[in-house]
Amino acid sequence: MDKTGPTGWFTSLAIDKKGTPIIAYWSQLEKNPKFAVATDTGWRISSVDHSRVLGRSASLAISKSGQVAIASSDDTDLGSPMLKYSIQDGELWKTSLVDLNVGGGYQISLAFTTEGMPAISYYDLSKRRLKFAELVQLKRP
């Protein structure tokens, strides 16, 4: 599938509503997360982030509306990785910070709630505990 060199680390698989396999993974050679979608002619591969550190311990999920998202660690500071959430918007990815002080962000698992909001569980290496983050929709009066 991806023949760019050492690649395919920290993989996560999801199947969209049409039955198309989608894979998120980390490229050791390029040091960034990649995203592969099966097509009739092979795989369409693109980069999610070009910071060259985001993407280790990635988890991929697809919302009920079909939006693709990835939760992953940002290892800019290897001693204190941060947890980030990226969502696909057309051909672009929008990335936001979930937890700045995780000291880890490993063993990440992303899912969507029944309301369609992202929920992430992950291991905090510095505090040696499991953490949970959920985006909630504010209800306005």
Residue 52 clears pLDDT 70, i.e. is over it: no
Please name the residues in contact with 27: beta carbons below 8 A apart, sequence gap of 6 or more.
2, 4, 5, 6, 7, 8, 9, 33, 34, 55
Q: Which two tokens stand for residue 97?
A: 């910070």
Please name the residues in contact with 86: beta carbons below 8 A apart, sequence gap of 6 or more.
33, 48, 49, 54, 69, 70, 71, 72, 93, 94, 95, 96
Query: pLDDT value at position 20?
Result: 94
37 is a domain residue: yes
Average pLDDT over residues 83-91: 86
87 is a domain residue: yes
Higher pLDDT residue, 102 or 107?
107
Query: pLDDT value at position 129?
Result: 84
- How many domains does the chain fold into? 1
Residue 49 confidence class, pLDDT cut points 50, 70, 90 = low
Higher pLDDT residue, 87 or 58?
87
Domain CATH code at residue 48: 2.120.10.10
Stretch among 10-24, 60-74, 88-102, 112-126 having the lowest mean pLDDT: 88-102
Is the pTM higher than 0.85? The answer reads no
Q: Are 76 and 31 in contact (CB under 8 A)?
A: no
Q: Are 27 and 4 in contact (CB under 8 A)?
A: yes
Average pLDDT over residues 46-53: 67
83 is a domain residue: yes
Specify the DSSP class assigned to residue 128: T
